[in-house]
Chains A and B, each alone.
Chain A
Amino acid sequence: MWKFSVRRILIMIPQLFVLSLLIFVLAKMMPGDALSGQIDPNIDPERIEELRIEMGWYDPWHEQYASWVGGVMKGDFGMSFRFKMPVTELIGQRIVNSFWLSVATLILTYLIAIPLGITSGRYNDTFRDQLITGYSYVGFATPLFIFALVMLWIFGFQLQWFPTSGSVEPGMQPGTFDYFMSKFYHLLLPALSMALITTFSTILYLRNEIIDTKQKDFILLARSKGASESRVYNQHIFRNSLLPIAAFFGFEITGLIGGSIFIENIFGYPGMGQLLIESISLRDFSVVTATTLLFGVASILGALISDIILSLVDPRIRIK
């Protein structure tokens, strides 16, 4: 497994390389640059030109790319033009938020999806099941951003149960328990909104898995041992059905990245998704390349994590 992971990571290096090249070229093709936003009669256009030259904007793109790659090799992703700080540091600030948002979303997703999926699969074709699958289809059909807006409106403003923007109460001391709670409180509503919409695939998947597993021979064997229904479900069916869900885990990460762009925007939550969109629009290219690269790494790692989890929990794969 160790070898397997290393190999996967080695494969991902050329992929990331091509990805970075693509992103870089695309970025260069886009109109405007980080200084387009500085158009102002009282800023000297010559100063802007000077800065462009300093930034290397007029160098041939491959030279820029080479120097960028050179920096990345040394762990230096350059400076954010907009934030005037090293990209690494900037992302460091944001990634924590995104990370916890994702974790909370995942946990909520599973907290919601697993019981529903299990109920639905165990009692398939009953009223309960239809109710749950019905919810799943509606969830499938609801655009995330409309749902999130409605959630924000109801729970944030009408009921005022949750804060409506930011990632933490102003003035909290990092490291304190209050700070932690405040962070948690802030990410609850966005995470819940995203989770409620993303559960549906997990529910349906789990349901199918359970219905599938129910008919396996080893379930019959378990029954013939005299295992009660609840034991059959708890010991045999659920364990086996949850396995692919566990494997799904890594792939969820890719989905989360997409979803976070909407969610962070709506809930004013300063994370990576928001950073990416802002940086593209404001042509803060060093941030764009670093962020997309990071997302790429996250997706690949997600897939890798899936494989690793699967190989950890599934003995059939473990041996290979």
Chain B
Amino acid sequence: MAEKLLEIKNLKTSFRIKDDYFAAVDDVSLNVNKNEVLAIVGESGCGKSALAFSIMGLHTRAKMEGDILYKGENIVGISASKLNKLRGKHMGMIFQDPLTALNPLMIIGDQIGEALLLHNKELSKTQRKEKVINLLNKVGIPRAEYVYEQFPHELSGGMRQRVVIATAIANEPEILIADEPTTALDVTIQSQILDLIKDLKEDMNSGIVLITHDLGVVAEMADRVAVMYAGEIVEIAEVTTLFEEPLHPYTRSLFNSVPNASEEQDRLHVIQGIVPSLQNLPRNGCRFAPRIPWIDGSAHEAHPQLHEIKPGHFVRCTCYKHFHFPEEVRKEEEHHGVS
């Protein structure tokens, strides 16, 4: 059975803007199991990256409430040194842009080696180098000995991302957080990197949190999917369930708006309105309601909760029951799509 590695309970991460705090991650509860890929999907500004950063404790000036339990131990608000013992050893992170995620002045070997050094002080220099080279081999970098001495700018984007991954997995962490790991890459590279992550997961038996906006990537990678909108999770389900039976209006809209290489569509679905900014998030009621104005207000809950529709399939707000695409009623609607 699934072993809970990470359990997030009612996490609320707020940022200070002017004199107020605004929650970018709002009451999120999740768990990540061993040997599982949990994908978190959403559009920019939905809070998915903020969630990833919260887990890693990388926000320096955010207010965090709620619990993040790593193997049952709360890591919210623990001391920096404790957190540092955790980070890199038990939890690793892969960043979106491999171009900026590597220190331009350090050779590859040292950057990966640093992760080893920090958590395994006994290793001698040569041992460390040996391990780094193993890691480089493991992430599929040819001529690892040579690359060891190279600087980031000498590598291609795909190679750099492999280096970032090697850094993240140096200590075989149980949790790997991948924040849009392939967004900056070409599609052929993307598939290689995705395959690599998958293989590593199998290898290390770890739990992976995959942050992405690309439904194709989700379909390829995820075991379970959480869809986020406006700081909240609006739907969680097993990947097949979600792709076959998306329920929440947002999830459904998202699916309908992606041009798909495998099927012909003349028109794509358009979600009305715009993604609200952090300061303008509707904090009461269904946060998606303003973007589906044709759905009657009464369809929404006053305080939308996640409902477990089927085992493991949660949907927020009751509006899903009443949702339909306007095209189905009136084809012209989207002409309007402007505030």
| Chain A in direct contact with chain B (Cβ < 8 angstroms) | yes
Q: Is the CB of A220 within 8 A of B119?
A: no
Q: Is the CB of B105 within 8 A of A313?
A: yes
Known: A226-B115, A314-B105. A216 touches B58 (CB 8 A): no
Q: Is the CB of A225 within 8 A of B114?
A: yes
Interface size class of B (residues with CB under 8 A): 35 or more
Partner of B89, one of A221, A226, A229, A314: A226
Q: How far is the CB of A159 from chain B (nearest CB, A)?
A: 44
Partner of A227, one of B84, B91, B105, B153: B84
| B309 proximal to A (CB < 8 A) | no
Known: A315-B153, A319-B154. A225 touches B102 (CB 8 A): no
Count A-B contacts at CB 8 Å. Answer: 85
Shortest Cβ distance from A235 into B: residue:
B114
Partner of A221, one of B83, B153, B154, B167: B167
Q: Is the CB of B105 within 8 A of A226?
A: no
**Binary interface profile of A, 164-179, with partner B (CB < 8 Å = 1, else 0)?**
0000000000000000
**Binary interface profile of B, 45-73, with partner A (CB < 8 Å = 1, else 0)?**
00000000100101000000000000000
Shortest Cβ distance from A216 into B: residue:
B100
* Cα-based distance from A101 to B338 in the complex (angstroms): 68
Q: Which of B69-114 contact A (CB under 8 A)?
A: 80-81, 83-89, 91-93, 95, 97, 100-107, 114
Q: Is the CB of B88 within 8 A of A225?
A: yes
Q: Is the CB of B100 within 8 A of A217?
A: yes
| A298 proximal to B (CB < 8 A) | no
Q: Is the CB of B95 within 8 A of A221?
A: yes
Q: Is the CB of A224 within 8 A of B58?
A: yes
**Binary interface profile of A, 306-320, with partner B (CB < 8 Å = 1, else 0)?**
000000011110010
Shortest Cβ distance from A316 into B: residue:
B153
Known: A223-B87, A227-B84, A227-B114. A240 touches B101 (CB 8 A): no
* Cα-based distance from A319 to B88 in the complex (angstroms): 31
Shortest Cβ distance from A221 into B: residue:
B101
Shortest Cβ distance from B57 into A: residue:
A223
**Binary interface profile of A, 192-231, with partner B (CB < 8 Å = 1, else 0)?**
0000000000000000000000001110111111111101
| Subset of 8 A-B contacts with CB under 8 Å | A218-B102, A220-B58, A223-B58, A224-B58, A224-B91, A226-B89, A240-B105, A315-B104
Give A residues with C-beta under 8 Å from B. Answer: 216-218, 220-229, 231, 235-236, 239-240, 243, 313-316, 319
Give B residues with C-beta under 8 Å from A. Answer: 53, 56, 58, 80-81, 83-89, 91-93, 95, 97, 100-107, 114-115, 118-119, 151, 153-154, 164, 167-168, 170
